[in-house]
Amino acid sequence: MPSRIVAGLGLSHVPSVGVAYDRGKMQTPAWKPLADAYVPVREWLARLKPDVAIVVYNDHGADFLFDKYPTFAIGAAERYAIADEGFGTRPLPEVRGDADFSAHLCQSLICEHEFDLTVCQELRVEHGFLVPMNLCFEHAAGGWPVAAVPLQINVIQHPLPTARRCYKLGQAIRKAVFAYEGNLNVVILGTGGMSHQLQGKRFGYMNESFDRMFLDQIEADPERLADLSHQQIMEQAGAEAVELIMWLVMRGALSLRARRVHRHYYAPMTTGMGLITFQED
C-alpha cells in the first residue's frame, strides 16, 4: 500500500528552547506561552500516529563544517546520534531512522525528480533538528515515538538554494512519499526562523508584521512566498531569518487544500518563534 503525508508543521528551532527544556524551565513564565502552544500539537500528532517525520532543518556547525557544506543533504541511516554542537551533548536518546524509506526518497528525488542530494550514512543531529522534535514528540529513555529522516539545507553560507527551489523540493518529496509502498503515515516539519538577526549592529532585530504575513501566506498563498528573494527576507526580517525558506519545503509537500490546525507566535528575546500546522483530510 502506498504511503501518504498526513500533516505538516512549520516551526522555529531556537536553541534556548532546548536549554530551557533540559533544565526543566518550560513551565516558567518566560517559556510557558510557548510550552502551552505545543500541548495540543503533541496531542494532535499522537492521534495522527505518524510512522516517520521528515525533519527539514539546518546544521549550525555541529556535523557540517565549511570544508564541505552540502546545499541539500539527507540522512539514509538506521539511527542518528545526538551531536555536541559545542555546549555538550544533550541527554536525549538517539533518533531512529528508516533506512529503507530514506533509500526510496534518495532514489526518487535524485533519479526521478533531479534533486542532487548529498546522502549521509552518518549524521549527528543538533538543535535545528532536536528542538522541533522536543516540541512535537515526547521521548522516553528508550527512544522517540516516531522514526525520522533528517533533511539538511544550507541556509547559512551564501549562495543558498532559492525559496522556489525549496518549494519544488517539497513538491518532489510529496510525489516520492506517495510512491513508497510502505504504507507509512508521514509528517513533515519545516523548521527555523522566523525573523531574527544574530550579528552586526542590527543584532536582535525582529519584525512581527513580516512574521505574521509569512504565517498568513504559508497557509493561503505559498506561491507568493516562493517568489521572495533571500535579499528581501534578510532586509525585512533579519539576515538569519532566511532559514524560513525551509518552511517552503514543508508547504510544497502538502496539498494546497491542507487544512490549517494550529497557529502561534511568540517573540520574547531575539527570534520570532512561529508555529503553524496543517492536516491533510
Partner 1 sequence: MGIDLKPIPDTSIFDLRASRRGYRLNKLCGSLCSPANREEFKRDEEAYMNRFSLSESEKRLIRCRDFAGMIAAGMNIYFMLKIGSVTGNSLYRMGAQMRGERYEDFLATRNFKDAV
- Selection from 143, 150, 93, 100 nearest residue 122 by Cα: 150
The Cα–Cα gap between 114 and 242 comes to 24
Does residue 127 have an active-site annotation?
A: yes
Select 40 or 61, whichever has its Cβ closest to partner 1: 61
Select 98 or 240, whichever has its Cβ closest to partner 1: 240
Select 124 or 251, whichever has its Cβ closest to partner 1: 124
| Residue in 104, 196, 230, 264 annotated catalytic | 196
Select 188 or 246, whichever has its Cβ closest to partner 1: 246
Select 46 or 92, whichever has its Cβ closest to partner 1: 92
Angle (CA) 196-234-110 rounded to 5° is 100
Its sign, for the CA torsion 74, 76, 79, 85, is negative
Angle (CA) 7-8-11 rounded to 5° is 145
Q: Is 171 left (phi over 0), alpha (psi -120 to 50) or beta?
A: alpha
| Residue in 127, 158, 230, 264 annotated catalytic | 127
Question: Considering the complex, what minimum distance in angstroms separates the CB of residue 203 from partner 1?
Answer: 4
Question: Considering the complex, what minimum distance in angstroms separates the CB of residue 232 from partner 1?
Answer: 11
Question: Considering the complex, what minimum distance in angstroms separates the CB of residue 247 from partner 1?
Answer: 19
Question: Considering the complex, what minimum distance in angstroms separates the CB of residue 144 from partner 1?
Answer: 23
Question: Considering the complex, what minimum distance in angstroms separates the CB of residue 33 from partner 1?
Answer: 9
Query: How distant, in Å, are the alpha carbons of 40, 68, 166 from that of 173?
Result: 27, 24, 10
Select 201 or 257, whichever has its Cβ closest to partner 1: 201
CB distance 225 to 214 below 8 Å: yes
- Selection from 218, 192, 197 nearest residue 273 by Cα: 192
Task: List residues binding partner 1 (CB under 8 A).
Answer: 16, 20, 28-31, 60-62, 65-67, 83-88, 156-159, 197-204, 229-231, 234-235, 238-240, 267-270
**C-alpha cell read off for 58:** 539546518
Question: Considering the complex, what minimum distance in angstroms separates the CB of residue 45 from partner 1?
Answer: 24
**C-alpha cell read off for 205:** 532585530
The Cα–Cα gap between 215 and 51 comes to 27
Inter-helix orientation angle 208-220/230-237, to 10° = 140
| Active site amino acids | 127, 196
